[in-house]
Every structure is written in structure tokens, then in C-alpha cells.
Amino acid sequence: MIRTLVSLLCTVVIVGAATPAVAGDCKGCKKVAKRGEGFCCDKGKAFGVDLSSKKLYTALAGKPMNADKVKCPGCKTAAKDNGRCDHCNIGIAHGRAYHSAVSYQLAKGTPVTAEKAAGCSGCKTAHKSNGRCAECKVGFVGGRMFKETDDYKAALVAHKTLQAATEQAEKCETCAVAMVTDGECEHCKLKFKDGKKSKG
């Protein structure tokens, strides 16, 4: 009887120890790690920032937009040049529509892996530090490359807002979403504009 009980306990311990290994093989998590963005198993990544809030990730995520099927004239124009449609209050970048101004500013950049950036020493350093390469005259923010100085500066501001929203999500997810969407948290009775509490 004692041998049977010991054997059973050993089996439970072995199975329990093996469980984390199975979780580590999650296809969704591997996909997020490969793409550098996405959300799975209560954790995610967007524009180089780690996230623990699915609500925040959903607010940041863009949706595919087929410009040929869009009826709104403003959206059609925006889709051609990574612009904004004021009528629909969305930004369109690289074929995706964003309701969050933060994610739109960051999405305007072209995704560049660390391996590709390593071809130039200046770009390699800039890619790691969200800096600029003086030789190539491009800036990097959140793993994306920006050719225009204004877009680069706007992306830096957006990235700081995203980092602040990620920290805020630990206290209140609704406030975090409001920070990146110029929205309002009904629970905390706070309004946000450009990532900051609005005086109004």
C-alpha cells in the first residue's frame, strides 16, 4: 500500500513538473515572439513594448483595410499615403486602420528587424535605442524605421505614451485604453488627450 502511494505521488510530481514545458510550446506565444507583436496566454507585445493587458492590446491593434472596397472618400485618400480620415477618426498605415492615434503614429514606420538594421553600425545602434542614424538619415522607434523627421518625433512621443499606458494598465485598464485613444474612463471619471489627463 505504501509503495503504491509513493509511486502515485511520484507520478503526480513528474506530470506536474512536465506541465510548464507543455505551456512553453504554445503555438500562439511562438507566433507572437516571431512577429514581435500579438497577444497570447495573458501577455503580449506591440511596437516593442511588452503588454499584460488584452484590452490595451485590442485598442492598439489595427484592422486590415482593403482600399478597393472602402466607400468613404476620406479613407480612400488616407489609404494611399498613410494618412488620416477625420470623418471616420481613423489613421491608415500600410493597409491597416487604427482608431488609436498612438498606434497609428507608430504603425506609419516600416518594420525592420534587428538583423536587417545590423547592416549599418549607425542603424544598429539606433534600432536598439529608438535613435537616429545620421548617415542613413532615418530614425527607429519600436522596431520601425521612419524616414521623415516629423514622423520619427511623433513616433517617439507615441512610444512614451504607450509605455505610460502599459504601466497604467496595472492600476486601471480602462484608463490605459483611454490614454491611447483620447478617451474617457467612466470608472475613474478621467478624460485623456494626447496621453495625458485632460483638464476638461
Decide: residue 192, CB within 10 A, 0-12 exposed, 13-18 middle, 19+ buried.
Answer: buried
Q: What is the pLDDT of residue 9?
A: 38
* pLDDT class of 24 with cuts at 50, 70, 90: low
pTM across the whole model: 0.81
Q: How far is CA 49 from CA 39, 83, 85, 120, 191, in A?
A: 12, 24, 27, 24, 23
Instruction: Determine how β-strand 90-93 pairs with β-strand 132-133.
Output: unpaired
* Contact of 41 with 26, CB cutoff 8 Å: yes
Q: What is the pLDDT of residue 19?
A: 37
Q: Worst-scoring range by mean pLDDT, 34-48, 128-142, 153-167, 181-195?
A: 34-48
Q: What's the mean pLDDT in 31-54?
A: 88
pLDDT in tens, 72-85: 999 999 998 899 99
Does an H or E element contain 138, and which? strand 138-141
pLDDT in tens, 144-196: 999 999 999 999 999 999 999 999 999 999 999 999 999 999 999 999 999 99
Alpha carbons 44 and 90: distance in angstroms, whole number: 23
List the beta bridge partners of residue 7.
none
Alpha carbons 51 and 40: distance in angstroms, whole number: 10
Q: How far is CA 118 from CA 36, 114, 121, in A?
A: 17, 6, 6
